[in-house]
Amino acid sequence: MKNLLLSFALFSVLISCKPNDVHPVATNKPHKDSTIVDVDKDKNGCLASAGYTWSKLNQECVKAFTGIQLNPADNASTEDETLCAYLLFNENANKAEIFLPDDKSFILAKSGQSKSWIYNDYQLIAHNGYELKKAGVLIFSGDGEIGNKVSGSDNPDGQE
């Protein structure tokens, strides 16, 4: 009887253990590790924490603040980038996308040879840089230079 119980216990141990040297069959599925990557991505896959947002115009993730900065008309000298709008153009500049401070963006289209781009009651005018008007009222303007604007100098003496 002892031999029967010992044999049964040995048999149970042998069939319940998997050998360590057995490798799973390779598949074409990507390996998933335990790192969390997609936590900060928006619905288009743009990494918001790195400053990326989806451009409807360019159909890709962009850093809108690398475009042309337009300051609010009621606070033109602001250095608070969160209050500014940013402007990007397509390759032939017949369309422009404006990114407003409230994270809203829309595309304005140029009609003919005029100096303005239109979307509903918004109008973007090329005049000493750019002016964005809503229903004829100036809401943002900028000098047309690409990138953020910082007043003053990094050098306290003002020398280069």
**Pairing between β-strand 137-142 and β-strand 60-62 as defined by DSSP bridges:** unpaired
CA atoms within a 13 Å half-sphere pointing along the CA-CB vector of 11: 6
What does the pLDDT look like over 124-152, one tens digit per residue? 999 889 999 999 999 999 988 776 555 44
The rounded distance, in Å, linking the Cα atoms of 66 and 86 is 8
What does the pLDDT look like over 23-62, one tens digit per residue? 445 555 554 444 455 677 888 899 988 989 999 999 999 9
Q: In whole numbers, what is the pLDDT of the chain averaged over residues? A: 78
The rounded distance, in Å, linking the Cα atoms of 141 and 134 is 12
Average pLDDT on 96-112 reads: 91
* Confidence band of 14 (pLDDT split at 50, 70, 90): low
